[in-house]
Each structure stands twice: as C-alpha cells, then as structure tokens.
Amino acid sequence: MITLYGIEWSRAKYVLFTLAELGLDYQHVKINPFEDEKNALEYLQLNPLGQVPTLVDGDLVLTEAMAINFYLARKYGNGKLWINRLEAEALIYKWTFFAITQLEAACVDLILHRKVYDVKDRNIAIVREAEQKLVKPLRVLNEYLTGKDFLVADQFTVADINLAGVLSYAQGGEFDFSPYSKVAQYLGVVLSRPTYKKAVAG
Ligand SMILES: N[C@@H](CCC(=O)N[C@@H](CS)C(=O)NCC(=O)O)C(=O)O
C-alpha cells in the first residue's frame, strides 16, 4: 500500500497529480506543513526535515517531491508519464531540475506573499523580486514550448507534472503570464486535466 504524507496545497500536490494520472490507490495523510504535526517524532522518522511530501511504498520511504514522481512514473507508469529512451530521460530530468532550480523559489514566494501569509506579513519587495527572477527562465521556456504541446517528445510526461506543478504556485500567486503566451497556453492545458483537479481537491 502506498501512503502519501502532505496536504494537497503543499508540494504534495505534485505527487497527488502523478498518483491520479497513474490511477493508483493510496492512503493520504494530510500533514499541514504550517502545523506542529510535521514535527511529531513518528513523522520525523520518515522525514527528518519535518517537511512534506513523503511517500511510503512498502519498505521504501522517499522524500523530495520530484524524486517521488520519477519513482512512481518508472515503477507504475507502464508506458505512461515516462519514456524509456536515454535522450528523452535526459530531457525529463532537465526540465524537472529547471523547474526546481530556476522557478520554484520565486513561484512559492509569489503565492506566500500574495495569498497565504496574513496581510501584515506579506512583503511586496519579495513579490517584485520573485516576478523579476521569473522573467529570464520564462522567456527561455516560452521559446522552447513554441511549436510543442508538451516538454518532452510531444508526450505528456512526469516532466510536465513537475514543471506545471511548480508554475501553479505562480498562477495561484496572480503572476501575469500574458507576456509568455505559449507558457500560459501550456499551463492552461496541463492544469485543466481532471487528474490535476482531483489532486488539488485533496
Ligand atoms: N525539496 C523538498 C521541499 C519540501 C518543502 O519545502 N515542503 C514544504 C511544504 S510545500 C514544507 O514542508 N515546509 C515546512 C518546513 O520547511 O518546515 C521537496 O520538493 O519535497
């Protein structure tokens, strides 16, 4: 039995999206990263950083959302979400690492400082800096996506889940995607999949 720890609006949503795409059964333990439950001794044994998500599948305890998604796609995908060809795999890794190194921190800052934090704790300077940090990578992504429906080999893969999942935080944080029309269109397509809606519904 698979168990996923992490509430649906946290980074656990990337994994919930994958679980829904693969139609897998799982138990969902909705740990809220803003609550003390993430520091309960029992949970720290699974994830010593006290963060979500964490996946348990049999004897395997796995943290890091993107690693979890690679694992699920490869173990249970059966031809879905993964492409067994070295060049395609390299691109799946490349766009996932691009998402977490070039985009994620800024996307998370946008939603935290526009939606999640109490108004008194929001910082407009952090919002402006995050918007600025997204300009260059989004230009690159926009150009790359021109003439493509998906990131790798024109197939929907776990790279799309990972990257669109990251950008969903910017979308939730009211980022203006209009200068990046191809990214906006792509995001609209990926995030309107019923499996994403199921993931964020919890
Ligand atoms: N690199 C980790 C980051 C996990 C992470 O930062 N999760 C946040 C919630 S989205 C969290 O648990 N924050 C609580 C904390 O850091 O104490 C991953 O992608 O899984």
- At 148-157, the pLDDT tens digits run 999 999 999 9
What mean pLDDT comes out for the span 120-130? 98
* Residue among 4, 32, 44, 52 to mutate when testing ligand 1 (max atoms within 8 A of CB): 52
Question: Given a cut of 90, is residue 171 above it in pLDDT?
Answer: yes
Arch. (CATH architecture) of 86-193: Up-down Bundle (1.20)
What mean pLDDT comes out for the span 102-128? 98
Of 22, 4, 8, 3, which Cα lies nearest the Cα of 202? Answer: 8
Higher-confidence residue of 27 and 202: namely 27
Q: Check: CB of residue 56 under 8 Å from CB of residue 8.
A: no
Range 2-76 classified under CATH 3.40.30.10: yes
Atom 6 of ligand 1, residue of closest alpha carbon: 51
Domain ranges of the chain: 2-76, 86-193
Mean pLDDT score of the chain, rounded to an integer?
98
Atom 15 of ligand 1, residue of closest alpha carbon: 51
Distance 85 CA to ligand 1 centre (A): 31
DSSP label at residue 120:
G
Q: Check: CB of residue 50 under 8 Å from CB of residue 38.
A: yes
Distance 36 CA to ligand 1 centre (A): 14
Q: What is the pLDDT of residue 43?
A: 98
Question: Given a cut of 90, is residue 195 above it in pLDDT?
Answer: yes
Q: What is the pLDDT of residue 202?
A: 81
pLDDT tens for each residue of 28-68: 999 999 999 999 999 999 999 999 999 999 999 999 999 99
Ligand 1 site: residues with CB under 6 angstroms? 10-11, 33, 50-53, 64-65
